[in-house]
Structure 1
Amino acid sequence: VALGVVLALPLPAVAAGLAATPLWVGYPLAKRFTDWPQAVLGVAFNWGAMLGWVAVQGSVYLPVVAPLYAGCFFWTLHYDTIYAYQDHRDDVKAGIRSTALRLADQTPVYLRAFDACVIASLGASACAAGVGSEPLFWAGLVATYVHLEWQRRNINYSSPAECLRLFRSNREVGLLIFLAIALAKLSQRQQQDDAEPFGAKATNSALAKEERSWRQMTGYEMLGLVMETGDMNELKAILCR
């Protein structure tokens, strides 16, 4: 199914998608050879950030895509480290390696560092994409950090069920990031519409009314036309017909 989706994309996106194949093949093996398989997952899983941009824009714009990719990478380190704590005792017996085993007592410190990198990277990407001036974006990003910090403070590393619950709560993190971006873009569009010159907004309405004979216009309509355009010449042009 995933291959079918990739092949349905424009050619540059297909090439970008297929380039990630070695990463997907290598991830299951990484647990045997490195203490950081979560990092390998982050590199592979978040390739979609680059793929999505290429699919829409046709090429990679690194000032936006690189920090976006980095932010998603560090987010993966956060949630997959929590996930790894579910099985860390069994992993020791099976000889499987993970950040949960590697970081051990230092996990809370590393999670805080990962979270700071998430926020900094997403903020840099937003600034490069032109939404860094939107308060709604930063409000969403602050909410994202608060949620990540809430997870970090409430982890019971010895409870697989609790680790799974907090891992699943990252769905809300994704929603917060999406809302931050979407609302910022909507706010920008609204501001652009509001910034359109008043005369330009009125022009279409004025032209439509000019097409009507002045004899068909009431005095109130004529007055309304002048008020819309702010120009008596519009009224004179109609009366001279």
Structure 2
Amino acid sequence: MFRDSSDGVEEYTTSVTGFINKCTKDVAPTVTVRTYPSQKPWITGNIPIELKGRAAAFKERDSNPEAYKKSRCALSRSIKQVARTATRPLAAVKISQMQALFFLGGQRSLVLGALLCLNYYIKALGAASLSQVVTHPLMKSITYWPQLVLGLTFNWGELLGWSAVFGSCDWSVCLPLYFAGVVWTSIYDTIYAHQVLDDDIRVGVKSIALRFQEHTNNWLSGFMMAMMLRLVVAGFNAEQTLPYYATLWLFTSHFRYVYTLDINKPEDCWKKCISIRTLGLFLFLGIVCGNVWKERRYTLFPRV
């Protein structure tokens, strides 16, 4: 066919090559993969450069204070270029750093006041979370797993809440529930991270989204299974009842929802992120209804 329609060897070769390329594009699946130099995205963007400049100017701040001031301003401008932080109070200069510190101090004082009203067990447990609170903001510059550290920090309140009600932790229930919350936080924050991936690259921070990229869906599905297993173990050890397990059954329908996540569409990421929040509300209602069912059962059929 090609030989009859070609006038020479060169045209014949071009026709055959073009046909092969077309067949390859039509049949072979294509996958878009984001790659970075040595898989180290933190070496790109202006933020690392400005940080080094500020560090150098800081060493010579006594002899050249003006250069140090300019380096700080340059760093501030680079950070404000990140879209998701541009409207935040500090980045938008709606409040001063001193006002932010006063607000933070007020929040810490309220938490400390509530903690001091509780027993020594809870005070020690609360003090143990301080290391996570301090180190969490630094994790995005150190590891690809900052979402995991965020989960460890956010869900510490579950241990404190259980201790505040019962006096101490029942580790057979609290640990599975705590680690289920850690995995849950990692899931929704990883989905959120895919919305702002370009900003993270520009700023030079790391995340699970950058670590797994196109393989994120598979990993998130694995996270969901690990979370489900821990919730089942926690429910079993807490002697939960039918409403709780019925809620967990709803979670299984969410597996496909997470697996079909389109990480290249921010609107789909936001939709899936919000759905996980709604799922949390259903889990809360399942726990409440499960406890009510359990109390009613024990009222009708007391323990021997």
TM-score (norm 1): 0.75
Q: How far apart are the structure 1 equivalents of 2:167 and 2:109? A: 19
Q: Which amino acid aligns with 2:301?
A: A
Matched-pair contact (CA < 8 Å) for 2:151–2:182:
yes
Matched-pair contact (CA < 8 Å) for 1:38–1:77:
yes
Matched residue, 1:183: 289
Q: How far apart are the structure 2 equivalents of 1:170 and 1:72? A: 12
Q: CA deviation at 1:7?
A: 3.0
Q: Provide closer, same or farther for how the CA distance between residues 3 and 58 of structure 1 changes in structure 2, counting only shifts above 3 A.
A: farther
Q: Provide closer, same or farther for how the CA distance between residues 92 and 76 of structure 1 changes in structure 2, counting only shifts above 3 A.
A: same
Give yes or no for the alignment of 1:7 onto 2:116: no
Secondary structure of the structure 2 residue equivalent to 1:85: helix
Q: CA deviation at 1:34?
A: 0.3
Query: 72, 84, 88: which is aligned to 2:181?
Result: 72
Q: CA deviation at 1:173?
A: 1.5
Q: Which amino acid aligns with 1:174?
A: G
After superposition, the C-alpha distances for 1:155-196 in whole angstroms (9 at most, x for unaligned) are 221222331232122221211111221111111122223336
Give yes or no for the alignment of 1:26 onto 2:135: yes
Q: How far apart are the structure 2 equivalents of 1:18 and 1:177? A: 29
Q: CA deviation at 1:28?
A: 1.2
Give yes or no for the alignment of 1:162 onto 2:268: yes
Q: How do residues 87-166 of structure 1 correspond to structure 2 at under 5 angstroms?
A: 87-131=196-240, 134-147=241-254, 149-166=255-272
Q: How far apart are the structure 2 equivalents of 1:59 and 1:189? A: 21
Matched-pair contact (CA < 8 Å) for 1:6–1:17:
no
Q: Which amino acid aligns with 1:168?
A: I
Matched-pair contact (CA < 8 Å) for 2:218–2:259:
no
Give yes or no for the alignment of 1:63 onto 2:172: yes
Matched-pair contact (CA < 8 Å) for 2:174–2:234:
yes
Q: Which amino acid aligns with 1:77?
A: S
**CA RMSD, Structure 1 to Structure 2 (Å):** 1.7
Matched-pair contact (CA < 8 Å) for 2:228–2:248:
yes
Q: CA deviation at 1:26?
A: 1.0
Secondary structure of the structure 2 residue equivalent to 1:169: helix
Q: How far apart are the structure 2 equivalents of 1:104 and 1:3? A: 40
Matched-pair contact (CA < 8 Å) for 2:217–2:260:
no
Q: Provide closer, same or farther for how the CA distance between residues 16 and 7 of structure 1 changes in structure 2, counting only shifts above 3 A.
A: farther
Q: CA deviation at 1:150?
A: 4.4
Q: How far apart are the structure 1 equivalents of 2:209 and 2:135? A: 20
Secondary structure of the structure 1 residue equivalent to 2:195: coil
Give yes or no for the alignment of 1:195 onto 2:301: yes
Q: Which amino acid aligns with 1:62?
A: W
Q: Which amino acid aligns with 2:192?
A: Y
Q: Provide closer, same or farther for how the CA distance between residues 126 and 163 of structure 1 changes in structure 2, counting only shifts above 3 A.
A: same
Structure 1 runs (4+) greater than 3 angstroms displaced: none
Q: How far apart are the structure 2 equivalents of 1:190 and 1:20? A: 36
Q: How far apart are the structure 1 equivalents of 2:227 and 2:187? A: 9
Q: How far apart are the structure 2 equivalents of 1:162 and 1:18? A: 39
Matched residue, 1:53: 162
- Structure 1 unaligned regions, length at least 5: 197-241
Q: Provide closer, same or farther for how the CA distance between residues 57 and 167 of structure 1 changes in structure 2, counting only shifts above 3 A.
A: same
Q: Provide closer, same or farther for how the CA distance between residues 164 and 2 of structure 1 changes in structure 2, counting only shifts above 3 A.
A: farther
Secondary structure of the structure 1 residue equivalent to 2:206: coil
Q: CA deviation at 1:17?
A: 1.8
Give yes or no for the alignment of 1:38 onto 2:147: yes
Q: CA deviation at 1:51?
A: 0.9
Secondary structure of the structure 2 residue equivalent to 1:114: helix
Identify which range, 181-190 or 29-38, moves more after superposition: 181-190
Matched-pair contact (CA < 8 Å) for 1:137–1:184:
yes
Using the aligned pairs only, state the percent identity: 34
After superposition, the C-alpha distances for 1:67-123 in whole angstroms (9 at most, x for unaligned) are 011110111111111011011122122211000010112111111110011111011
Q: Which amino acid aligns with 2:287?
A: I
